[in-house]
Amino acid sequence: MKNEARLLHITGTVQGVGFRPFIYQIAKAHGLFGYVKNLGNYVEILLEGNLESLDNFLGDLLEKKPPLAKITEIKTKDVPASGYSKFIILPSESGVFENSIIPPDTAICEQCRSEIFDPSSRYYRYPFTVCTNCGPRYTTVRTLPYDRENTTMADFPLCPECEKEYTDPLNRRYHAQPVCCPKCGPEIWLSDTEGNILAKGYKAIVYASDFLQQGSILAIKGFGGFHIACNARKEEPVKELRRRLKRPEQPFAVMAKNAGVVETFAEVEGTGGVCLTSYRRPITILPRSKKFNLAESVSPGLHNIGVMLPYTGTQSLLFDRMPDAVYVMTSANLPGRPMVIENKEALEKLKGIADFYLLHNRVVANRNDDTVIRIVNGQAAYIRRSRGFVPEPVELPFDVEASIGVGAEMNSTVTVAKGKFAYISQYIGNTSYVETFKYHSEVVRHLIQLTGIEPLHWGCDLHPAFNTTRFALKMGGENTLKIQHHIAHMLALMADNSLPLDSRILGIALDGVGYGSDGTVWGGELFESSYLGHERVGHLLPQPMPGGDLASKIPSRMVLGILFGKLGREELEKLPLTFPQGTMEFSTVMKQLETGVNVIQSSSTGKVLDAAAAMLGICGIRTYDGEPAMKLESAARMSTHAVDLPVIIRKDRSTGVHVLDTTELLLGVYELSGMYPSSDLAFAVEESLAKGVSEIATSLAAKKGLEMIGLSGGVAYNDHITSCIARNVREAGFEFLAHRQVPCGDGCISFGQALAAGLSIKPEEEF
């Protein structure tokens, strides 16, 4: 029988995930000849054999692919047979690879985990044990193609035993680039604050575990950087860690051995349980259980807690002797700054914070924070999309030209895009800090290098003072497009829902602050949105922010700004507000409001929620980003009585757009204070705000003939507000859109910018 021949090009996550040995095995199983080779941005397969075997091969390819492989496209064509007499794996080809997909870091698989706890295994108690189904990937990559010599594992030549496994197509470690063993791989050791080695190997992990139980604070090096750890079951070490980090209130994430242990202090069920236990191992925000048996200071004033399970061999071994232990595992960085990744850097920067250091000598090529997910309205919402997901691409519903979005200022990311794929970087942080902005520039260079996408168009925020904006203008010149912050949110939301290019939606952006096209500060916006333009059709009532950014840090200032003109000075003085400088600051704020000096206007939703938190005595001073609103939400969950607050919608006389009156909302809180518990009023604020926004959105969508209403922005992480808006929208007969693959906060801004730039939208009036 004459052999047929087919050439296949397969794109997706097909490097470093055991894809080529998988192809080798199923080709041989079906009696096919030919080859498979890695071309960087795709895998090429030549198959020769009878037609039935070729068809069966394709069936197995889709049904039995390796667990970490993700196929985005298969191109096939018939070609003349070349006369191969066997099936072989050819070496990777070097060169420039465009749209190459490097696999993300994933948790240690069950097979490798079993080996490190098996006394008969040569991997017994070796923390760097990996195979093609697990372990670090992206954090090891220096350049392409993704072969061992181009990763940080090039520093560790394979021993004969590992070499045998690495070159055997039938072995699960075949071409697993991080593969190693105690004879040839990285070493782990425990040191004191001066760098003196106290123990090596498993003994170092035993000592570290003992020190944690005794109350010490440790710096622990992982895949993408350092964590700072302490015993989460005891108040003393957690409070001491807060003192050293100068984080008095910011919640800490914790790590436990398994879901069974987590159930002793948090609710593990539904989508939250699925996220927690997935091979990506994100930090999952879970509701605290009624029998919360951790230190209260782990997440003070909040109803929930961030939890993750071990994803490295080191972390798994830390629980070997203490299976019921729970450890704080927080990124080793100052707020908004890059996470520490180098041993020397850790010893210097964490001096006075860590008592001991659990170190290893594998270089971290790409810094990568933990991903953070929260369940909102029954669905997973990314607060931070990073380890376990980056650099997997987001598939676009249309083609874009080669572009880059450089992000906003806070919670920044970078996105490069071309064709139907967008690659969003790991979490970067607050680029107003010099060291974080330097890291941002490094991420830009590295992402361009790894994807092979040279951007023709640059997208940045409208705010002229952002470091990211200046960077884009310098690099992109006349090919740089400035995109208003909340329009970037809308574009990201639409593409995240795979809406086609001609789509129109009624978009809601509920956020902190973003520079508006009219020169004021926006943050509670409604748009008629498309990919090619927008119209601002509604917003929250602009409120004065006395002292500018000080009103963000001291939400009591926002209370005075909102109620100024509604209440007299004596009434305002009686409010239970907190000012760091006491009555002197109160007088200063009143003078600013009376004169209009150093006062900016903002329609920010976040600032209204912050003001409500301050007014109800829930949070008077912000010590971390989002604190007042987060604590307001936690208080609202304690509500037991329904309270009605006014929902007043007016039309702006000058623009004709719909405006939600938030002054009347806060005035209603004032009038009912003392009559109801703060939890009831907190719930009422969120409920009324959601109701008012929903009313505007559904009314306008009906008027304009739109079928979809979507929500983006940092306030969308509030489960109560989002669920209420979603319910109201659906009850009114509209489809509700939320983010699916990218954060609804500022982590999606670079994505929206890259889309706008890649579509080459030029008219300034559009954005």
Q: How far apart are CA 585 and CA 579, in angstroms?
A: 6
Structure token digits, residue 320: 């070997």
The one-character DSSP state at 354 is: B
Q: Is residue 505 a contact partner of residue 499, using CB atoms and an 8 Å limit?
A: yes
Record the tokens describing residue 357, joined without a space.
Answer: 């250091």
For residue 733, give both structure tokens.
């007969």
3-state helix, strand, coil in the chain (%, to 5): 35, 25, 40
In which residue are the tokens 């992990």 written?
A: 205
What stretch of H or E contains 346? helix 343-349
Which residues have a Cβ under 8 Å from the Cβ of 275 and sit 6 or more positions away?
A: 282, 284, 373, 375, 380
Residue 64 CB neighbour total at 10 angstroms: 11
d(CA 445, CA 443): 5
399, 477, 392, 163 alpha-carbon torsion, rounded to 10°: 120
Please report, as a single letter, which amino acid is at residue 153.
Answer: M
Q: 6 pairs with which residues across the strands?
A: 47, 78
Could you give the 3-state DSSP secondary structure of residue 455? coil
Which member of 38, 304, 333, 368 is catalytic? 38
Could you tell me the two tokens for 716? 């969308």
3-state secondary structure 97-116: CCCCCCCCCECCCHHHHHHH
From the candidates 20, 148, 281, 385, which is the catalytic residue?
20
Q: Are the beta carbons of 336 and 410 closer than 8 angstroms?
A: yes
* CA 227/CA 331 separation, integer angstroms: 5
- 63 contact partners, CB below 8 Å, separation of at least 6: none
Q: 524, 510 in Cβ contact below 8 A?
A: yes
Q: To 10 degrees, what angle do helices 719-731 and 627-636 make?
A: 70
Closest of 130, 88, 85, 140 to residue 110, by C-alpha: 130
Asked whether the beta carbons of 184 and 165 are under 8 A apart, the reply is no
| Separation of CA 658 from chain center | 33
Does residue 287 have a cis peptide bond before it, meaning omega lies within 30 degrees of 0?
A: no
CB 350 within 8 A of CB 332: yes
d(CA 330, CA 184): 30
Q: Is residue 296 left, alpha or beta, with left meaning phi > 0 and alpha meaning psi from -120 to 50? A: alpha
Q: How far is CA 211 from CA 204, 218, 257, 357, in A?
A: 11, 8, 17, 11
Answer for the pair 191, 356: CB distance below 8 angstroms, yes or no.
yes
Per DSSP, helices labelled H in 415-544 are 434-451, 467-476, 485-496
Distant-in-sequence, close-in-space partners of 93: CB < 8 Å, separation ≥ 6:
37, 38, 39, 40, 145
| DSSP state for residue 43 in the 8-state scheme | E
Is 38 an active-site residue? yes
Are 522 and 602 in contact by the 8 Å Cβ rule? The answer is yes
Whether residue 223 contacts residue 387, with contact meaning beta carbons closer than 8 Å, is answered with yes
Tell me the residue length of the chain: 767
How many whole angstroms separate alpha carbon 673 and alpha carbon 575?
Answer: 10
Q: Is 321 a catalytic residue?
A: no
CB 287 within 8 A of CB 303: yes
Q: CA geometry: angle at 442 spanning 441 and 447, to 5°?
A: 100
Q: Which amino acids are annotated catalytic?
A: 20, 38
